[in-house]
Amino acid sequence: MLQDKDILELFKKSEALLSGHFELTSGLHSNQYFQCALVLQYPNYCELLAKGLKEKFADFPKPDKVIGPALGGVTLAYELARSVKEVIELIKREGAEVIAVGSVVNRSSQSVDFGVPFRSLIKMEVQTYQPSNCPLCEQGIPVYKPGSKALKK
Ligand SMILES: [Zn+2]
């Protein structure tokens, strides 16, 4: 079973735990960001994380399909809360049943309700700020919006 320290080590080795000034999918700002794509570029790390996530759902029946949001989730079913909700709605519209949601990192400070069981490999509390009350914005540090959401526009 993967331990939190093992997962953090994979993120550190792949320089995927970024520090800076980020606009998250939620619209909040943060000084940290988990760039899962940097970990998943290494097939052996991806395999380890996927096996760890699979173990988290060992008590579930074997699913017919495992679906992940683009782009990172195409490699491994992970994403941020809003993207997961969009994917759940998409799956339901197609007439399929969602039995559970899994992610590599859960950086939510509050519990997330997807309407189905949600499990992650590691839970990390990341400091977030409303943009109107962000000390990094006050310092004039340019904000970077990671992820694939910008590709839609
Ligand atoms: Zn900010």
Token pair of 126 as six digits: 């990341």
CA distance 126 to 138: 19
More confident residue, 3 or 64: 3
Q: What type of residue sits at position 36? A: C
- C-beta separation of 20 from 144 below 8 A: yes
Residues linked to residue 33 through DSSP beta bridges, in sequence order = 18
pLDDT tens figures, 24-82? 877 889 998 888 888 888 888 888 888 888 888 889 887 777 777 665 554 554 433 44
C-alpha of residue 144 to centroid of ligand 1, in Å: 9
More confident residue, 78 or 126: 126
Domain presence at residue 152: no
Containing structural domain, residue 63: 4-147
Domain total in the chain: 1
CA distance 119 to 30: 23
Q: What type of residue sits at position 122? A: I
CATH number of the structural domain spanning residue 14: 3.40.50.2020
Residue 21 has what pLDDT? 95
C-alpha of residue 10 to centroid of ligand 1, in Å: 27
Residues, beta carbon < 5 Å, ion ligand 1 = 29, 134, 136-137
- The H or E element containing residue 129 is strand 128-129
CA distance 66 to 76: 9
C-alpha of residue 80 to centroid of ligand 1, in Å: 19
Domain presence at residue 59: yes
C-alpha of residue 69 to centroid of ligand 1, in Å: 26
- C-beta separation of 72 from 40 below 8 A: yes
- C-beta separation of 65 from 11 below 8 A: no
Domain presence at residue 43: yes
C-alpha of residue 5 to centroid of ligand 1, in Å: 29
Please give the average per-residue pLDDT across 11-16, as a whole number: 92
Local structure of residue 61 (DSSP, 8 states): P
- C-beta separation of 30 from 128 below 8 A: yes
